Amino acid sequence: MKLSNLFVASTLLVLLAGVASAQNAAAPSEESLRDVLNQPGKTAPVADADSPLQPRGGKVQISLGQDDKRVTMALSATFGNGVQWQAKFSSPVEKDTEGTSVASLDGLANGSKAELGLSYVWFTPHPGSRQQLDAACRDARQALQQRNDLDKTTAALVDGSDCDDRLYEAAYKYPVDRRVLHSINTAYFGGHPYVYNMGLDVGAGYDSYDFLNTSFAKTSTHKTGYEVGLHASVTNVVSLWSLVASIGRERSYENNTKSLVQICAPVENTPAQHCSQGYASPPLRKDSTVAALEWRWQHSNALALAVSATYRKEDDVLGISIPIYLLSNSDGSLRGGIKLGWRNDTHDTQAGVFISSGFNL
């Protein structure tokens, strides 16, 4: 990990009047997936009521992790009335490695990056009467009791006295009679189990680029890009899926691949030549509009899915990414699986394993 780059990302965030939440983890590993997944969780909320970081009406949470070959540090807090802010600092684990996803159209993904998001979350509780709630709980318990194929965890929930989503999720997953599922949905959500989120995102990325100057000597330049965007999402907390849409404007820099040249010079006192490659011009600025749509679905601790399509308007590029989460440690804080990716301009496809810090809708 490059801590210096992480520092640069942190500094960028301060320039943005910064703030920070965490999505973590992911990179193929030499360790077996199961070994890694059995490690204690790496995401650690560290806020408490006496936190000096506590803003008015909210608490700051900090987490560290790794995401798509990037090390991340994130902060988040919730204010009253549903307003949340979150910020993330990230940096590549290793410079000059390819990103984990060929489908990523994020022009700032190769350097250190600071992101700041402000969201408004709203949800209107629609619970029924105590009798409806008790009936839903009793019916779910009785329906599950009639099955003889329950795993130990579910059997313990059925034998217990708690009336909560852990029991109801079991009712959905086994599944039980649809009337029971309908009564759960109605009792807790009035048939409308949706949480909505919309907000604004800004970010800045910092990276260095090597190229050849006019005397063909290697030189380096640093560039700072930025992005601004809007996002909106809806999450169904009963059937456990979410749909996320976003659109943003981005300024990034990339090496001018058309200027790639090979320069050779004779090695003194030998007939051999020493050759090296480089770009004969500085990086190109690229302004683009990027829209994305993502559908996330959780079946169980053993299976979750995220399908995302990202489209860049200027050059008509579409990228599709499908991470499939297949393994989980005991508390779900780390997950592993396979990731598929494709983009229409290069027709590159990608398939590989990944380890991530859990799955969130």
Chain positions contacting another protein, by CB under 8 A: 21-22, 41, 43, 45, 47, 49, 57-59, 61, 63, 76, 78-80, 82, 84, 121, 123, 125-127, 129-130, 133-134, 137, 162-166, 169, 188, 195, 237, 240, 298, 301, 328, 331-333, 358-361
d(CA 166, CA 248): 37
Cβ closest to another protein, residue 47 vs residue 93? 47
Cβ at position 92, least distance to another protein in Å: 24
Cβ closest to another protein, residue 20 vs residue 240? 240
d(CA 211, CA 151): 60
How far CA 354 is from CA of 28, 122, 351, in Å, comes to: 5, 32, 10
Cβ closest to another protein, residue 10 vs residue 86? 86
Cβ closest to another protein, residue 195 vs residue 353? 195
d(CA 136, CA 186): 9
Cβ at position 260, least distance to another protein in Å: 44
Cβ closest to another protein, residue 123 vs residue 311? 123
Cβ at position 194, least distance to another protein in Å: 12
Pair 194, 205: CB distance under 8 Å: no
With vertex at residue 39, the alpha carbon angle to CA 33 and CA 45, rounded to the nearest 5 degrees, is 120
d(CA 334, CA 36): 8
Cβ at position 324, least distance to another protein in Å: 16
d(CA 125, CA 70): 38
Cβ at position 150, least distance to another protein in Å: 18
User: How deeply is 227 buried, as exposed, middle or buried, from its count of CB atoms within 10 A (0-12, 13-18, 19+)?
Assistant: buried
Q: At a CB cut-off of 8 Å and minimum separation 6, what does 268 contact? A: none
Enter the DSSP assignment of 168. H
Cβ closest to another protein, residue 11 vs residue 84? 84
Cβ at position 164, least distance to another protein in Å: 3
